[in-house]
Structure 1
Amino acid sequence: MKKTKIYLGLAVLAVASIILVSADHIDAPSTKGTTADIADFYGFEPTVGSDNTVFVVDIQSSVLPELPYGEFDENVLVEINIDTDGDLVEDKVIQAIPRDGRMYFFGPVTPGQTGLDSQVLVDSPLGDVEISGATAITETTSNGVKLFAGPRQDAFFFDFFQFNAVIGGMAPGGFKTSAEAENTFAGANTMSIVVEIPNSVIGNTTATNALGTSVYKTWVTTNVKQ
C-alpha cells in the first residue's frame, strides 16, 4: 500500500503519494459520528434557469445544539463525484481538504482512479478559502467559482427521538403530526463545504429530475488518510 504524506508550502497544498479509503454515511460504523461522517449532500441551481450548480456537503452530523461544532479534519478528503455519461461511474471529481485554517479545492477533473480509493488532485487546483467562524467568508475565483467552508445550522428537520421510539415499538401512536413533531436538530451545526460552479466547467447533465430540470448524477464520499 502507498504511504501517505501531506506537505503545505506557501499558499500551495502539495501532496505526495496520497491514497485514501472512502466510506459512506450510516452504513459504515467506523465512520458514523466521526469527522468523516456525511450528514447531507445537496445539489441545486442557485436561481431558476441559472447556468451554475451549487454543491453543498454537510459533515459531522452528530453535532447537537448544546455541543460546540467541530473542526474540519486534515486527514479527511471530501470528494464530490459527478457522472457525465450516465454509467454511474465518476467522470469528474471536485475535492476539498483542509490545511491550517483554509479549505483547498481541486478539480473538476477526471480522477486517476475510480471507486473506493482516491488521490488528491494537486495538479488541478480550483481555489481555496479561509474556513469561516461565526462570520461567513466566501471566495470567488477568476473563473466564477464560489467557495465556502465552515459551520452552518443543520437544515434537516427530523424528530429523531420519536423516530427511534416508533421503530423500537415504543410509540403505539406512531409518528407525530407536523404540528406536534419536534426538530431534534434545531440550532445544531454541521460543518459545511459549498461550491458554486459554472455548468460549463463540469460538463453535460445526464438526468432529468421530477420537475423536468436537467441535473447531474452526483454523490459524495469522504476519504480517510491511511
Structure 2
Amino acid sequence: MRKKMKYVMGLSAAAIAAVILVAADHIDAPSTAGTTADIADFYAFEPSEGSDNTVFVVDLQSDVLPELAYGTFDEDVLVEINIDLDGDLVEDRVIQAIAKEGRMYFFGPVTPLQTGLNSEVYVDEVLGDVEISGASAIVETTSDGVSLFAGPRQDPFFFDFFQFNAVISPELESAPGGFLPPEEAADTFDGANTMSIIIEIPNSMLGTPTATNALGLTVYKTWVTTNKKQ
C-alpha cells in the first residue's frame, strides 16, 4: 500500500515537449521568487543521438551567486516531472524529487493516483537518492542505470536583462537601437548559479513516447511542477 504525504497548490510550472527543447521561466511567479519552488529552466533531451536514455534537467531558484552561501533546497517543496504518454496533456507517469537533511530523494516513475495540482509523495516507489552537492559535483548511479544529481550549477540562460528592461521601458529613447548584437550584449546571469536536479533514466522505465516534435522525432510530452506541503 502506498504511503501518502499530501502536497497541494501547484506553485510554478514550466512545460515543454522534449527532445532538445527548452522552457525558461526565471522569476515569473512573484510568490516563489528566491526559493527552490521557483522554476527557472526545464530541459529534456537524449544524451546522445539514438540513445535509449532521456535526461531531465530542472533548474530552480535563479541568481544564486557563488560568493554567497550555496542555496539549499526547500524540504517542503516537491518537484515533480510529469510525462504524458497518450497526448491528452494529463500526466500518465511522474518522477518526484524532494530534499531531506542534505540528500535529494527520488521516487517513480509511477502512475499517479491523482493528477493536476494535488500530489502525494510515492515513498514506496523509491528510484534512488544522492547527496546534495556543494562546490564539487556528486553523481549517484543506481543498479537500474539511473544517474542522479542535485546541487548548484552555472545558470545556462544568456540574457541581457538590463538592455531588455531598457527596450520595454515606456521611455523609448532609453534604448533607441533596440537589443544589442551578441558581441555587445552583456550576459547578466554569467557567474550566477541555479539549484539543479538532474536525472538520466532509461526510456524503458518511462513508457513509450507518442508525440512528434518539429524535427519529426518521436518524443515525450513532459513538464515540471513544484508543489508546497500543506
TM-score of the superposed pair, with normalisation by structure 2: 0.87
Q: Which whole-Å deviations, capped at 9, do the CAs of 1:105-137 have from their partners, x for residues lacking one?
A: 000111111001110111111000111111111
**Matches of residues 70-219 of structure 1 in structure 2 within 5 Å?**
70-169=71-170, 170-219=174-223
Displacement of 1:171 after TM fit? 1.4
**Could you list the runs of 5+ residues in structure 1 that have no partner in the other structure?**
1-13
Counterpart of 2:162 in 1: which secondary structure?
helix
Q: Which whole-Å deviations, capped at 9, do the CAs of 1:68-106 have from their partners, x for residues lacking one?
A: 431111011100000011100000000000101110000
Q: Matched residues in 2 for 1:108 and 1:116: separation?
A: 18
**Could you list the runs of 5+ residues in structure 2 that have no partner in the other structure?**
13-24
Q: Matched residues in 2 for 1:68 and 1:157: separation?
A: 23
Selected match of 2:9 from 21, 24, 36: 21
Choose between structure 1 and 2 for higher RCO, CA contacts under 8 A separated by at least 6 residues: 2
Q: Which moved more, 1:151-160 or 1:20-29?
A: 20-29
* Identical aligned residues as a percent: 74
Displacement of 1:161 after TM fit? 1.0
Give 1:34's aligned amino acid: T
Structure 1 segments, 4+ long, off by >6 Å, are none
Do 1:64 and 1:185's aligned partners in 2 also have CA atoms closer than 8 Å?
A: no
Q: Matched residues in 1 for 2:110 and 2:123: separation?
A: 11
Q: Matched residues in 2 for 1:90 and 1:134: separation?
A: 35
- C-alpha RMSD of matched pairs (Å): 1.7
Displacement of 1:19 after TM fit? 2.8
Do 2:7 and 2:78's aligned partners in 1 also have CA atoms closer than 8 Å?
A: no
2:63 is the counterpart of 1:62: yes
Q: Matched residues in 1 for 2:229 and 2:166: separation?
A: 37
Do 2:93 and 2:112's aligned partners in 1 also have CA atoms closer than 8 Å?
A: yes
TM-score of the superposed pair, with normalisation by structure 1: 0.89
Change (3 A) 1:64 1:160: farther
Do 2:4 and 2:120's aligned partners in 1 also have CA atoms closer than 8 Å?
A: no
Give 1:30's aligned amino acid: S
2:47 is the counterpart of 1:46: yes
Give 1:171's aligned amino acid: A
Residues paired across the two proteins, number: 213
Q: Matched residues in 2 for 1:165 and 1:71: separation?
A: 33
Q: Matched residues in 2 for 1:69 and 1:165: separation?
A: 31
